[in-house]
Amino acid sequence: MTDSAHGGQIRRRRKVVLALPAYNEELNLPSLLDAVRDALEPHSVPYEVVVVDDGSTDGTARVARAYALEMPLVLLQHEKNQGLGATLRDGLKAALERSSERDVIVTMDADATHPPGLILRMLQLIEEGFDVVIASRFQPGARVFGVSPLRRFMTRAASLLLRTLFPMGVRDFTCGYRMYRAPVIAAAFRTYNDAFIDQAGFQCMLDVLLKLRHFGLVMGELPMVLRYDRKGGASKMRVWRTAWASFRLIVRRRLEGSTR
C-alpha cells in the first residue's frame, strides 16, 4: 500500500488500531506486542495499541507500561475484573477515539495465540471492499494446535448451527481475531449504545456479529493458524458455561429475528 493523490491531496494511509482485552497475560503479552511490531513496522503501517487490563492480579499492567515507552501503546485499567464483554466494549470505544473514518480496528486475544502477521492480508481485503474480516479456523488452509478434540467438535457444531440460522457468508462466528472498518464500530455504538456489547462472557464475540448482521455489511474470512499450544498460563474460558450461554443467546437472537 502506498499513499495516493486524490483530488489534489495526499490520502493518509490507513491506521490499524488494535484493541486488546487482557486479563493476567503477563507471560503472553510481550511476545504478542513484539509480533505486532514485527508485522507492521517493517511495512510502515501506522498503528496504535490499546491494552485494556481487566483487573489483572499479575504484571500485565507493568508489561504494558514498559512497552508504551517503545511503541504507540495506551493502557486502560479496570480496578476489578469485569469480564470480556465490558473489557472489549471499553477497548473498542478507546480505539474509536483514536481512529478516523479511513482507519481499521482490530481485536485479538492478548494470549499470543493469534498471529499478528495476518493483519496485512486482512488489510488487503479491506482495500478490496470488505467491511469486516475474520481470522477463521474453518477456512481451507486454517490450522489449529493445542485445542482438545472435544472443544474442536463443539466449535464446529456451533459453526454449522449458526451458518444455518444466521447465514451471513462467514463460518467462524466466535473467534475474537477480527478487523473492522472504524465506521462500522461507530455505527454499531450509535445504534445500540453500550448495549452493543451487553454479554459478559466469551459469547460477546458471537453477539457482535449477530448485531452487525442487520447493517448490510460485506464480511469475509481468511484462514488462521491458531497456536494455542504456545499459550502461557491456563485458559480463562469455561467451556461448558460459555457453550450454555451461547446457546441461550442464539435462541434469543433467533426469536428476536422472527418477530422483526
Distance CA 53, CA 32 (A): 15
Distance CA 189, CA 214 (A): 13
Look at the domain 5-255 and name its fold.
Spore Coat Polysaccharide Biosynthesis Protein SpsA; Chain A (3.90.550)
Which pLDDT value is given to residue 76? Answer: 98
Which pLDDT value is given to residue 8? Answer: 42
Which pLDDT value is given to residue 227? Answer: 81
- List the one residue out of 217, 245, 29 whose CA is nearest residue 158: 245
Distance CA 121, CA 79 (A): 36
Report residue 7 as a C-alpha cell.
483530488
HSE-CB for 69 with a 13 A CA cutoff = 5
pLDDT digit string, tens, across residues 166-186: 888 899 998 999 999 999 999
**Domain extent listing, the chain:** 5-255
DSSP bridge pairs for 50: 19, 74
pLDDT digit string, tens, across residues 11-37: 678 999 999 999 999 999 999 999 999
CB atoms within 10 A of CB 226: 22
CB 231, CB 28: distance < 8 Å: yes
pLDDT digit string, tens, across residues 43-87: 999 999 999 999 999 999 999 999 999 999 999 999 999 999 999
Whether residue 4 is predicted with pLDDT greater than 50 in this model: the reply is no
Distance CA 247, CA 110 (A): 25
Measured in residues, the chain has a length of: 260
